[in-house]
Structures are given as structure tokens and as C-alpha cells.
Structure 1
Amino acid sequence: MKYFSFGAHVVPEGHDIPSQPLHELLEQSSSKDPITLSKGNFSDKLYYIFTSGTTGLPKAAVIRNHRFVWMGVIIRSLFSFDHNDNLYLTLPLYHNNAGTMGCAQAVLFGITLTLREKFSASNFWDDCIRYKCTGAMYIGEICRYLLAQPEKPVDRQHNLRIMFGNGLRKKIWTDFKTRFNLRQIGEFYGSTEGNANVANISNREGACGFVPCCIPWLCRLVYPVVVMKVDEKTGEPIRDEKGLCIPVKPGEIGEIVGKINESDPARAYPGYHNVEATKKKVVCDVLTTGDKAFLSGDLMEMDELGFLYFRDRTGDTFRWKGENVSTTEIEAIIQKVIRLNDCVIFGVSVEQCEGKAGMAVLSRPPNGTIDMKNLYSRLKDDLPSYAVPLFVRLVDKIELTGSYKLQKHSLEKEGFNPNVVKDELFFLDKKSNSYVTLTPQLYTEIQSGNILL
């Protein structure tokens, strides 16, 4: 079993990466049993993994021995990995995707891992070809970065049979799969600390998972994942006359939850190191009185076959003009307009106004400019009026979390005050059908209510 690590290190052509056969190392090692300091068991804590902290501070999630094994076995079974595979990992090992699901393939099953110190869009396919990789992991942002690269012959000269991960958006799914000649996309959904885990192994475009629904009452009894109705305004579960949660019907959107069974490693909820944070993620009386489930905070839509489609984080939906606004929908549209450059959307509070107005933070394209009039024209055509962002901020770069997710928490805190934000700020002037520069004077007019929004 060989582990390749490269990135800053260049190996001359024709030279092998330094390695030593495992059987030789075993022959050199002592034949005596190692000193046992403590007797471990299957439910011991293996390590803590910090959540990515996309919209808030990271929290330490508990990974126990049985969870590590369970996740490794599930990935191997779903995507048919064996000892002949070579898995290419560019994600950081201190996060769950690569650190647990990816590394478990080597630790438990002896699959070869090819590790790159840091993700590189320009070298991704060259690496896959050079090291004869057969599979690779992704998150949605990586797919977008790869698709934004200029086309070149190596795009289709690799031997990858599968790329798997989470967050590949429906709008680029087919383009990504076709351009890079991928036989299978394995999209899964789950969280580091949670038990609401689903997967799409049938190449269903845009779906992040599947829940059996042929015989609803039986499937809910056997399958540990439920998508339940929640109140649009409060995010609280909607309950029936018995006080139980109500599962969604096909075409409806609800929050995905995982039923908790502490005696089953697949359905246990180890939670966080912080006990209070753990309690906040548990809902009671879901399908039967007294049962419990893990609250994922993610909104899903289920189709008539049981496939699930990610719609939003409960914290990423804001309300404006009496309507709920989906940040992911706007981000997907803006990224097409600005040609796959980074952008994040969130709601900002405006004095004298109910709800939150939309704000977009965009990274500048290579040429350094964005046609603000064209941006508004495209958004106006593709979005309802209440969903078009009122404020735009241009930045050189949007910072990423350790797992390559766009960090919006600090941007939300800074808001749209030109006295605080030193980047270019724009305000939607509907009279001129364009975004105009947001000056301190204009900001004061908006906050005082002199300009109707």
C-alpha cells in the first residue's frame, strides 16, 4: 500500500516516488505485541473533527471508532471500490470527506490513496493521469473550479471511473460529467456530526440522495431518514393533531432529519463536544411519541420516486417583501452571469424595513470588471423582483473554509456600510436599471427611510 504526497515537491520524469514495501517494514519491526496502555472498544472516541464553519464558528464533532468503520464500509459498498482502485484526494484530511470517508478506504481496505498537498484546478487531470487514479473526491466548489478552467486534451484522457462527493449543483451536473467523460457521479449527503445520510448512486441529475417511498408507512418504519414539513417563517416542525411531525409529500420542501438509535452505529448521534450545542440539534416526537431525531438544518425537496434535491440551509434562507428568498438559487444564477467566479448571497438588515434585503458579494473576474447594468438585466429576467439583490460588493477574493466552502459569516457581519467596508459597494437603482455606487450619503438616505426599497 503506497501513499503518494506531492504538490510542492517535483519528482523528475522517469523516477519513482521514494517508497518502501510494507512487508519489508514488517520484517524490520518487533514481533512482540505493543504495550497496551488501555483496552479500547468499538464505541470509543477516535477523534474530533471541526465542522467547516461556513456561516458560524466551527464546532468539534465526535467521531467514534464504529462511525469511522461504518462510513468507510458504506462508501466502499456504494461505489464498488476494491484493492485495484487508486483514490485521488485533494481535500484537507482534517475534514470528514477526505479525512474519514477517503482515508478509511486505505486504513480498512488497503486501497491506494494519491494525496495532493493542496487542490490545484490546473493540475487536477494531469495528476489523475500521471498517478493512474481511478476515482476522486469532490465538493461542489471543486467541480465549478475545474469547469471554469480552459478546455484541454487531458480533460478526457484520464482513467477515472467515478467522482464522488457532495454539493455538485444541477445547473452544471451534465456539463461537468460530459466534458470530463465521467462514467459515474456519486453524490451523497450527510454532515460530520449527523446521522441523516443519503446517497445518489444512479446518476440522477441534481439529486443528492434517495429515500424509499413506495410504501410510505413501511419505508418510514424501516428507513432512518425523514424529510419533515417545517414552518417557512420560524423553521419549526409542523405537527399534526397528535403532536407528531408531518413527512413531506412529493414536490414539497422540508427539513431532512435522521432518527436516533444510540444502539445502532449507523443511527446514533454522537453530537459535539459541547453538550448544549448537541441538545439544540435534537427534535422529539417525530414519527412516534418519545422518539428523537437529528436536525440537519438542511431543506430538501423529494420527487415522486423518492430522490432528494438540496434546496437550502435553514439559516441561508432570508425573508424579504413577505417572501422567502433562497440564497443558493441566486448564487447559481449569478455564477452563470459572471462565468463561474465566486459569489455568496445573504440577507442584511435595513433600518425601517421588515425582513432582510438581499446582498451579493462577488469576486472580481480576471479582467477586473463586471458590467453592472448587464448583471441587473440578467437577474431581473431570471428572478422574481423580491429575490434580486439590492446590494453588491466586489472583492478581490472570497475567503474559503478549510473544506473549500465560501466563507460568508464575516461578510454578513460587515454588511453594506461604506464607512466600514472598503471594497466597492453598489446599490440597485431601479430608475436607471442598474447598480450604482453606494456612497456614504446614499447609505444614510437608505437607512433613514428616505429611499423606498
Structure 2
Amino acid sequence: MSKQTMNDKLYYIFTSGTTGLPKAAVIRHHRYIWIGMILRNLFNISDNDILYLTLPLYHNNAGTIGSCQSVIFGTSIVIRDKFSASAFWDDCVKYNCTVAMYIGELCRYLLAQPRKPVDTQHKVRLMFGNGLRQEIWSDFKNRFNVKQVGEVYGSTEGNANVANYDFKEGSCGIIPCCVPYICRMVFPVYVIKVDPHTGEHVRDRNGLCKFVKAGEIGEIVGKIRADAGQSYPGYVNDEATKKKIITNVLRHGDSAFLSGDLVEMDDYGYLYFRDRTGDTFRWKGENVSTNEVEAVIQKVVKLSDCVVFGVSIQNCDGKAGMAVIADPNQTINMDYLYEECHKRLPIFAIPLFVRITSQIELTGSFKLSKTSLEKDGFDPSKIKDRIYFLDRKMQTYVPMDYQLYEDVQSGRLML
């Protein structure tokens, strides 16, 4: 007789490793079924649907949420072994797909494709997933005539899960907030205040966490409970697991999973993703959102790959912004880039350095990796790619050479 239970480990899934090494997250039998069932009901997926999967099965979106629709509930699935932006809609037409999964970068790659008739000849009524940028949400829906876009918020290892089940444009989910205190007692996901200067969680005089109000930005957390939906199995590495837990949240002795994601809540409880806690940096005494700067630059450079991060400069407080842009055909006009960034971003958020490269490494789930790029910094003696420096007097980007690099690092050039 089998002694297995629903609480046993089903498999490990490795996190994407966007800004660090991937970590093995534990997926148990009950989580596999529970998360697939919840989203199936929220998005009204039925046995008559045909789900198109082109995401890697070794990550949570396709491997858990997607495969569960077939393995547990019997919905037909079309699996493509590798994502192809040019063949995506052709496949959906060929196999009569009615539902498809995405992650945000996938949508951007589809938008960057030349227009063709098949863009609207498919039967896809619903696309769901996570990471679709608010800036391209309506463009995506309108161009491809997708009636419903269901954004899901969650992480492979976490229990802070919400969904945009009524398809509010730009929102990654909703937390009921009509009666805040009662909802906190019942609903297991909260948004807690974070000090914008230190990144620490703000607490009241009793040592408990404070919660954001409408229009404020905070970190989303999931209350840890013993039930299947809110347990937190964490990672294989115990130390990594402990770093993701905060205690004394709603009452003394309780605990919650720290998502590491900053969201903004509106008056109705809808949440809008703003940034990762580690991806926000300070420059000139101001907080800079890498997510915001990346979105602006991608608009300017026609949806090309772009990552933004902060780099340290000797004798300077905070970190200066650096953008790395993929431009294999060398088509970017640096004067135009500065002009558009100047129009759309506050002065302190305009990247001080720009690196133009042929391509940016992708993780297995199509996320852009920053790890090696951050290590490279902006030293032209170590980087073969073109690097530019923002000359504020000339109001444009100029090529970075070693002498200019030395002037910046030594403080001879005032920033």
C-alpha cells in the first residue's frame, strides 16, 4: 500500500535566476492541484478549450499551472518545444487553440513582429500568465484581438498569489479592501509598507507591520498557514528559505512569505506591479525604478531587449543608472534616445551610462538576466561593447573612453 500523501514532494522547480543563481523550490502534490484548479475556475477554462503552451515545462507557469489543466482536468494541450514569435499565431490557427499562456517578455516579442493577417485570424479568447507590462497591455490586446488577458501574480516558491480575474487593464490582481481589517483576517495576502530610503519594513509602536493605503507602494506578502493553499515549503536550502520569511505581521507570533515585489494598490484593491525590491536603487537622493526606466526605453527603441540597474561610482552616494540595450543592427540614435528619455523620465532616472550590445542573455523563462552585466559595470577596458556617457552640458550621450572613465571615477567630472 502506498504511503504517499498530498503533502509529499512532487518535484523541484528552479527559480529563473534573473539577478542571481537559481534556487530549487519545492512543489508538493496539493500545490500542483490547488493552483491549477483555482486559475481554471477564475478564468473559466473548460474541457472544450485547447491550451497552447510554448513556455518551458521546467518552470512553474507551464510545468505546473499549464500541465495541470490536462493531467488533472483533461483539457487538451498543444505543446511547442521552443517559443517562436513568428510562428505563434500560425500554431494557434493550425491547432484551433482557444487559450494560451504567456510571460511578459513573450508578449513584447510578439508585438515586435511585422504585422500579418494571421494576427487576428486565430480563435484565442483568453491569454493568461504574468509579467505583461502595463505600458503595452492595450497595444497587445488590440493588435491581436484577444478579448481577455488574465494576469496572475505569484512566484514558484511563494504563497502570495492573486489574480486579475475580471481582466482589469494593467492590474496583476486584486485584494478585497471594502472592510480592510476583516479582509486581512480572512484574505491571506497583504501589502505592507516599506521605507523608501532604507528598504526596511515599517512597523507600528507595537512592532507589527503597517499596511499600505490606496496610492501607496509596498511589498506584497503571503500569510503562512498550515493549509494547502498557504503553506510555505520554501527552497531545498533552509537558509534561503529563512531569508524569505517575516514575522509579527498582523499579530505577534505569525509569519509571512516575503515576495520581494513592490506593488501599488488603488482605491478598489487592484494591484499594479512597480518593481522588485532589489531592483530599485537610489541616485541623487531619489528612488529609481528599474522597471519604469526599462519600459520607457523599450518604447523608444521599438521593444528591443533592455535591462536597467544601478552601478557604483567612487566617492558618490547611491548608484547611477545604467541601461544595457540589445541592438545587433546598430540602429539606435543616441541623440534621439536621450531626447525621449528626457521627455518621459525625471532627470535623476535618466541612465547615466548606456551599453549597446548584440544580445542580452535570457533565462529559461524568457526573462532578461542582469547578473553578468551588473558585474561588468561601465569600465571600457573590460567591455568590448560600445558604452556611452550622458554629457549633461551637451545634452546627449557621448562615447565612453578610458580617460572619461577615469574622470568619472576620480571625481574630476562632476555628476
| TM bucket, shorter chain | over 0.9
Counterpart in the other structure of 1:230: 194
SS at match of 1:109: coil
Task: Report percent identity of matched pairs.
Answer: 65
Determine the C-alpha separation between the residues in 1 that align with 2:17 and 2:387. Answer: 25
Q: Aligned pairs, how many?
A: 415
Q: Residue 234 of structure 1: CA displacement?
A: 2.3
Partner of 1:131: 95
Which whole-Å CA distance do the structure 2 matches of 1:119 and 1:167 have between them?
A: 17
Q: What residue number does 1:362 align with?
A: 325
Match for 1:275 among 221, 226, 238? 238
- Counting only pairs closer than 5 Å after superposition, residues 98-247 of structure 1 correspond to structure 2 as 98-247=62-211
Output the amino acid matched with 1:351: Q
**What SS does structure 2 have at the residue aligned with 1:256?**
strand
Quote how far apart the aligned CAs of 1:203 are: 1.8
Secondary structure, counterpart of 2:139 in structure 1: helix
Q: Name the structure 1 match of 2:378.
A: 416
**TM-score normalised to the size of structure 1?**
0.91
Aligned partner of 2:390 among 428, 440, 446: 428
Gaps of 5+ in 1: 1-35
Tell me whether 1:89 sits opposite 2:47 in the alignment. no
1:406 aligns with 2:368: yes
How far, CA to CA, are the matches of 1:181 and 1:422 in structure 2? 42
Structure 2 match to 1:385: 347
**Structure 2 match to 1:353:** 316
Q: Aligned-pair distance for 1:324?
A: 0.5
The TM-score with structure 2 as length reference comes to: 0.99
Q: What is the alpha-carbon distance in structure 1 between the residues aligned to residue 351 and residue 106 of structure 2?
A: 25
Corresponding position of 1:450: 412
Please list every run of at least 4 consecutive aligned residues from structure 1 whose deviation after the TM superposition is greater than 4 angstroms: none
Deviation of residue 202 (structure 1)? 1.3
- Give matches, 1:17-32, under 5 Å: none
Query: Could you tell me how far 1:78 is from its partner in structure 2?
Result: 1.0
Q: Distance in 2 between matches of 1:432 and 1:349?
A: 23
* Structure 1 counterpart of 2:378, one-letter code: F
* Residue equivalent to 1:330: 293
Counterpart of 2:44, as a letter, is S
After superposition, the CA RMSD in angstroms is 0.8
Q: Distance in 1 between matches of 2:303 and 2:267?
A: 31
Bigger Rg over Cα: 1
State the Cα deviation string for residues 71-118 of structure 1 (Å, max 9, x = none): 111121111111111100010000000000000001101111101111
Q: Distance in 2 between matches of 1:42 and 1:243?
A: 36
CA distance in 1: counterparts of 2:22 and 2:86, whole angstroms = 30
Q: 2:224 aligns with which of 260, 277, 291?
A: 260
Aligned to 1:310: 273
CA distance in 2, matches of 1:203, 1:213: 18
Equivalent AA in structure 2 for residue 131 of structure 1: Y
* Cα distance in 1 between the residues matched to 2:13 and 2:166: 30
Is the partner of 1:179 in helix, strand or coil? Answer: helix
The offset of 1:345, in angstroms, is: 0.2
The Cα of 1:163 is off from its aligned counterpart by 0.3
Residues 123-179 of structure 1, C-alpha deviation per residue, up to 9 Å, x if partnerless?
Answer: 000000000101000011010110111111100010011000001111111111011
* Cα distance in 2 for residues equivalent to 1:203 and 1:194: 23
1:48 corresponds to which of 4, 7, 12: 12
1:79 alignment counterpart: 43
Q: Distance in 2 between matches of 1:151 and 1:210?
A: 33
Question: How far off its partner does 1:416 sit?
Answer: 0.4
Unaligned runs of 5+ in 2: none
The alpha carbon displacement at 1:39 in A equals 2.1
